[in-house]
Each structure stands twice: as C-alpha cells, then as structure tokens.
Structure 1
Amino acid sequence: MNKTIITLAAATLFSHSVLATTELPDKQAELPAHPKTEKSDHLVPRDFSTIPNTPFGDKVKQGYSLFVNTQTLQGKYVNNQQNCVNCHMQAGMKADSAPLWGAFMAYPAYRSKNDKVNTYAERIQGCFTYSMNGTPPPQDSPELVALSAYSYWLAMGGLLDKYNMQNTPIPELSDAAVQLGGNDESFILPIEMMKDLPAGKRGSLAGRSFPKLDKPEQAPSIERGEIVYNTTCASCHGANGEGIRDHGVQSFPPLWGKDSFNWGAGMHRVNTAAFFIYENMPLGKSIQITKQEAWDVAAFMNSHERPQDPRFKGDLKANQEKYHNHQGYYGKTVNGKVLGEHSY
C-alpha cells in the first residue's frame, strides 16, 4: 500500500471540505438500522498492545482515552455528563452498537437532511453538538484528530486481519486523511479488499449500526415503560434518570435531565433508543428484555425533559416541524407538559 498516495490525495480533497458552519443543520440524522448480521462477519480490531510507539500511535492512544473518558473535555467541548462510550459500547469496538470501525468506513457520505457530503470529522463534531450538548472541536484540533485516528486504527486493523494480512502494519495517515474518513476514492485499500469494498460503498460493513427491531405488537407505552425502567434500569441510571455519580465521577450516564444528551441527539428518537436498548442493555447482559419492553422503556426514557435542541431559535413548533418529524416527544404534551418548552 502506498501511504504517500493515501496521505496526499486525502489531504487535497479534504482541503475543499468545510467543517464549521454558522447554521446547525441536521448532522445527527438517524443512523440507518439494518437486520442483525452474523458475528463471524464482524470486524475485530487489533489488540491495543499493537498500537505503535510513534507520533501517530500517540494520537490513537489519545483518541481512545478521550472516547472512554470524554468528561476530560468538560467545559471545553462537553457540557453534560456523557462519554462517547455510553452509546458506542466496548470502547467503540462492539458490533451492533454503532462501532467506530463501521462509522469511519462509512464517511465521507452524503446526507439529505443537510444536503451536503459530510466527512468523518463532521460526524464527530455533530456528536459533540448534540450527544455531548457541547461545542464541536474545530477542524485539525488535537482532539478531533485523535478521535479520528483511533477510529481509523480500529477499522484498518480489523480489515487487514479479516483479509488474512495479520503481519501487515497499519499505515500511518496524515491528520487530513483520518478526518476525511475511509469511504472515498483517495482512501486506497489493498488490492485484496478493493473488489469487496469499492469507494463509495464501504458504509455497509456487517454490524455497523444498531440492529433494527420489528415494529412492536402494541404501540410504545410510557406507562408500561416506567414499570420496565423501575425494575430493570433504575439501579444503574437512577430513579429520576440522573445516573450514578460517586465522588464527582459519573459512572453510569443520566438518561434525561440537564446532564443528559439534548433534544437534537439521535438517541432521543424512540426507535433508535429501542434498537440500542434491546441489543445492549442491561450493561453486560444484553437481550434480557422483550422487544416490546425495549420499545416501551425507550418511550418512557424519552418522554422526559432534557437540554434544548441547539437548532432552536425561539419557535418550538417551527423547530418541531423542521427537525422532529420522527418517533419522539419533542413539542408534544406528556403529563400536561409540552416537552421542549422548558428545556434546560
């Protein structure tokens, strides 16, 4: 593989991409769900002990550290009590939990909701804006580069090993290349992979999303969901969705309230939350509740107030009509209160 070609070509293309805008388009468009795939088809990233002791390896290590403990960016880029790993399990490596290796290979990609091609770095920026209720790290910042490098390292190591190239070292890319993503002509893969993974069609790796659940037999119920939450979820996430905090450290994340993800985050959608909950919760004991219970508890979780949608410009109805035509409770009346009207 010619690392120089990858680096220079990606850098040239990346220079034409704009990561920061004055508006806040919907960079948090719903992650497409797919049928569950066989475990044998999933990528398995390389062991962390193989991360090289080089400047690029240091970026990968920093990316891992930021991913599992994003609270180190509290007050700078993060304004709630969430960590990236709360939604992307096992340090972003777990298949069927929106793993980083799948996301990296899916970008750059066109998104109809903001009518532009988004780079991988832009996708991460969207997570900071919405899931972290914060401020996105700027282009080329050490944090954005590190998170991108970590994602690339997971993806490339998994691909090389899947194609029986275990002895091939992971090429070290430029900052521009890792921020671009792997789904582009400039991102050159070994010839052994190119037939299976042509540029523009790398966003469908097995296990890259939350597996889609069938529609429930009964409409999701907030009331039934409250029962599921109290018996299954409250021990980790608190009676009032506040999570568990000990000695200033948030060990389990809040699910609603001022320290949770805001109304623009993908997880506030009932269907997205149901897909995630069924596959990944309770932590370490996934697929322990029924599909109907997953839908119900997702409805209960998302029927509470949380931080305001960053795209809100003073008109709740207008914001609802523009950005919330999906399964959610933003702008709707629940227990006599219009959600979003008194957001944090």
Structure 2
Amino acid sequence: MTRFMLTLLALGMGNAQAAQIVMEDQSQLKVLPASAAAAFSPPAESELPDNAFGKMVREGHALFVDTRRLMPNNVGNGLNCSNCHLDQGRMANSAPLWGAYPMYPAYRKKNDKVNTFAERIQGCFQFSMNGKPPAADSPEMTALSVYAYWLASKAPIGVEMPGRGYPDVPQPAQGYDFGRGEQVYKDQCAVCHGSHGEGQSVANDYVMPPLWGKDSYNWGAGMHRINTATSFIKHNMPLGKPGSLSDQQAWDVAAYINKHERPQDPRLIEGSIEKTRLKFHANDGVNLYGQKVEGVLIGQGTGK
C-alpha cells in the first residue's frame, strides 16, 4: 500500500443526525450465518480503474484519512475519520466502511425514519468531529460515499457481515472502576494519547488523537458511551496489540476516559444538561452524561 498506508491511532466515531442517538433498528436486514463467517477482504488499491471513478475513490480516501486538514470548515476538533475506522476504513471490528455502506438506507426506530448513508456520515461530522456536517450533495460527501461504496463493492447488500461495527463486550460482574481504569490508561494509553488525554501533535496536526478535552469528540458522539468505547478499545487498542486487554480492563479504561469533559452535546436543550440527558442520554447505552462523578457534574462541556 503506497498512498493508502496512512493508519492513525484513535477514538471518536459517533452517531447520525440530531435525533439519531441510538443504535439503528435494522431488523429488516439479513444476518450472515455463523458457518459463513469468513473475513471479508475489501478491494486493493491496485484494482482501482484509471478513470473518473478511480480518481473520485482516491479523493474520498484522502478526505477520510486527512479530514481535519482537507475539510477545516466541517471539522471542529482534532480528529479524522480514520481515527475511529482504522486502516483507512478497512479493518474488521473497527466499524469498517465495507460493513456499513451495504446496510443503508436503514430504518431507525428511535426517530421513525429511514436514514441514508449520507445522513449517517453527516452525523459523524456533527458529533464525532464536533463540526458542521457537509451538505449531502457536496463534492466532499460524494467523494466519501464513493470511497465507502468502493470498499463495499464486493460485499453483499443488506447482510450483516462479521467484522461490522465494534463487537459488543459484555459488562463484567464487577462493573467498571475509574481507579483501575486510570492505571490501565497510564500503563497502556498515555504513551500515545498523553497523560491528560491531549493526544500528540506536530505543529498544528495531531499524529495521535486526543481522547478528551476541547479537541476530542463531543458528548453527542457514539464513543461517549462507555460500552461503545469499550468495544472499540477491546478489539483495536493498544494499536498493534488488539485483544490484549481483558474485558475488565477495557471497561475500566473506557469509563475513565469518558468521565472526562469534552465539547458539549450540540443538541443541548435550553442550556439544560438535565433536559438533554433525559431526552438523548437516559436510554443511550452506558454513559455518564448528566451524572455526578466524584462530586462533579459530567456534561458541562469544554467549548470548541
């Protein structure tokens, strides 16, 4: 891989548009039987045609791995798409694009609406990137969608394949513990993400993404859920050593990360954390938004 070998460390991908805060109801889709659970291989760069389509795929790939620099008007933090979808959106169990694209359009029960793939991407910009969603018919959205389509071009439509999303990690009987999580973070995460979750940057470019603070994902992103962050961490982190943490360690460190402040949920209702919690967070997985942790109200936000 030449131009495609830009894999960044990361956390951050989130939900779709404003009211789309829960995992989608995709009961209309087929699930691949266990006997067919062979790993899917997306097409290689060498298979790209030398024409307008191939050019647009490459443009979408560039936007995907260098989002912050190439789309500064749409990204409000220090993240790129590839921070949550590792190996340029190719890696199984890291929400690969080839596992997502064939599942849309999809009905979401929570908002009683069929969502397009473009709407799903827009949500990522609003929440995970803490920015402004590009228009559905913008050149950037077209390029990103074409890149996702190409990665999924050999995949079946409407079939939930192994490796899609971030596989669930059951919560341990002990639950989670912030103190244990802090120790895991110091031992396994701080070397890349900084002792204060600030990430690492060279000049104005992050080479390792921030996990909390003003340049990380906001309180509306899917990764603010402890269970979602746990799944990402368990199957993908530390980089190069996926699966090396126990389930307990993954839950503990995800909870520790997500007890820290980050930009406010852009859906904040009338300036009220409690109203926002009740509408968007009360039934949205395991999360700390609007709760008091060690005497501090979580969800106050850090601003942009």
Q: TM-score, normalised by structure 1?
A: 0.77
Within the alignment, does 1:315 sit opposite 2:276 as a pair? Answer: no
Within the alignment, does 1:103 sit opposite 2:134 as a pair? Answer: no
**Take 1:39 and 1:274, find their aligned partners in 2: how far apart are those partners?**
26
Kindly report the root-mean-square deviation, in angstroms, between the aligned alpha carbons of the 2 structures: 2.2
Q: From the two aligned structures, give the one with the greater helix fraction.
A: 1
Structure 2 unaligned spans of 5+: 1-16, 26-30
Deviation at 1:107, TM superposition (A): 0.3
**Take 2:36 and 2:207, find their aligned partners in 1: how far apart are those partners?**
29
Query: In 2 relative to 1, CA 251–123 (structure 1 residues): closer, same or farther, beyond 3 Å?
Result: same
SS at the partner of 2:160? Answer: coil
Deviation at 1:223, TM superposition (A): 1.3
1:147 matched to which residue of 2? 144
**Take 1:282 and 1:342, find their aligned partners in 2: how far apart are those partners?**
27
AA of the residue aligned to 1:62 = E
CA contact (8 A) 1:78 1:135 kept: yes
Structure 1 unaligned spans of 5+: 1-23, 160-196
Q: TM-score, normalised by structure 2?
A: 0.87
**Take 2:176 and 2:163, find their aligned partners in 1: how far apart are those partners?**
26
**Take 1:149 and 1:210, find their aligned partners in 2: how far apart are those partners?**
23
1:339 matched to which residue of 2? 298
1:25 matched to which residue of 2? 18
**Take 1:38 and 1:76, find their aligned partners in 2: how far apart are those partners?**
46
Deviation at 1:219, TM superposition (A): 1.1
Query: In 2 relative to 1, CA 299–31 (structure 1 residues): closer, same or farther, beyond 3 Å?
Result: farther
AA of the residue aligned to 1:249 = D
Within the alignment, does 1:231 sit opposite 2:162 as a pair? Answer: no
User: How many residues of Structure 1 are paired with residues of Structure 2 in the alignment?
Assistant: 280
CA contact (8 A) 1:210 1:275 kept: yes
Within the alignment, does 1:256 sit opposite 2:212 as a pair? Answer: yes
Alignment partner of 1:43 out of 22, 25, 40: 40
SS at the partner of 1:64? Answer: helix
**Take 2:185 and 2:65, find their aligned partners in 1: how far apart are those partners?**
25
Within the alignment, does 1:67 sit opposite 2:23 as a pair? Answer: no
**Take 2:24 and 2:61, find their aligned partners in 1: how far apart are those partners?**
22
Deviation at 1:31, TM superposition (A): 6.4
**Take 2:71 and 2:148, find their aligned partners in 1: how far apart are those partners?**
21
**Take 2:36 and 2:206, find their aligned partners in 1: how far apart are those partners?**
32
Name the % identity: 49
Deviates most, 42-51 or 135-144? 42-51
Deviation at 1:243, TM superposition (A): 0.6
AA of the residue aligned to 2:20 = K
SS at the partner of 2:170? Answer: coil
SS at the partner of 1:91? Answer: helix
Deviation at 1:341, TM superposition (A): 2.2
1:324 matched to which residue of 2? 281
**Take 2:227 and 2:256, find their aligned partners in 1: how far apart are those partners?**
12
CA contact (8 A) 1:237 1:255 kept: yes
